[in-house]
Amino acid sequence: MLWVAAASALAVVAAARCRGGVPAAASPDRGVLFRPEAAFWRTPAPKVFRAGFETSKGRFVIEVRRDWAPRGADRFFNLVRAGFFDDSRFFRVVPDFIAQFGIPGDPAVSRAWQDRTFPDDPEREKNLRGTVAFAMKGPDDRRTQVYINLRDNPRNDGQGFAILGRVIEGMDVVDSLYSGYGETSGGGMRAGRQQRLLEEGNAYLDREYPRLDRILRAAIVP
């Protein structure tokens, strides 16, 4: 009955490789994080997909709709499936405003991505509680940093922040992220206080801001 066992094993592998029509990345090639020019990063996202985030406070899920922000959805999809956000920190959590992440724990990865901007998407959705967008400093300046709105933030509307999805599970987890450091542990991209985060990564944040919550792992989920 060895053939039965082999067939069962192949079925398990096939299921693991494709869940809900989305290629899984159970064992991402971490080397691709240092090759932002690779074809891997040009893979278009599905029309709708979900990204599950396992954190030090629990799990939340973001649902992304490509028609809201196609370029942003593609970048986010590929960052998640490459493991880009794994073992990084929520370095900016401001009560009644936003929770921000997307600076790698490994500064060598930050160096590889520091100039990898991508073009804007039109703003189609509002900055409502639980929605998600890429942070940026100006036109066509999005990179890898992402924020989640902790409340309705109409002040972010009309500034070029293209919403790409929303938290559909675990918003209570997002609300519970440690916010005691506010802007001091990194601030936004426009504040000009992120250089040490980029140069030293987790080593700096864990030493100076040890209470920051962590992303343990992010993955595309059914």
Q: Taking a C-beta distance cutoff of 8 angstroms, is the pair 149, 128 a contact?
A: yes
**Would you give per-residue pLDDT tens digits along the chain (222 residues)?**
333 333 333 333 333 333 334 344 444 678 999 999 999 999 999 999 999 999 999 999 999 999 999 999 999 999 999 999 999 999 999 999 999 999 999 999 999 999 999 999 999 999 999 999 999 999 999 999 999 999 999 999 999 999 999 999 999 999 999 999 999 998 867 666 799 999 999 999 999 999 999 999 999 999
Q: Taking a C-beta distance cutoff of 8 angstroms, is the pair 131, 149 a contact?
A: yes
Q: pTM for the whole thing? A: 0.87
Domain locations in the chain as residue ranges: 30-221
| Residues in Cβ contact with 160 at an 8 Å cutoff, skipping those fewer than 6 apart | 120, 123, 136, 138, 139
The 3-state secondary structure of 7-54, one letter per residue? HHHHHHHHHHHEECCEECCCCCCHHHHHCCCCHHHHCCCCCEEEEEEE
Helix/strand/coil for 152: coil
Give the pLDDT of residue 13.
33
User: Which class in CATH covers the domain with range 30-221?
Assistant: mainly beta
Give the pLDDT of residue 30.
81
CB atoms within 10 A of CB 220: 21
Instruction: Say what the alpha-carbon torsion angle 158, 172, 208, 85 is, to the nearest 10 degrees.
Output: -70
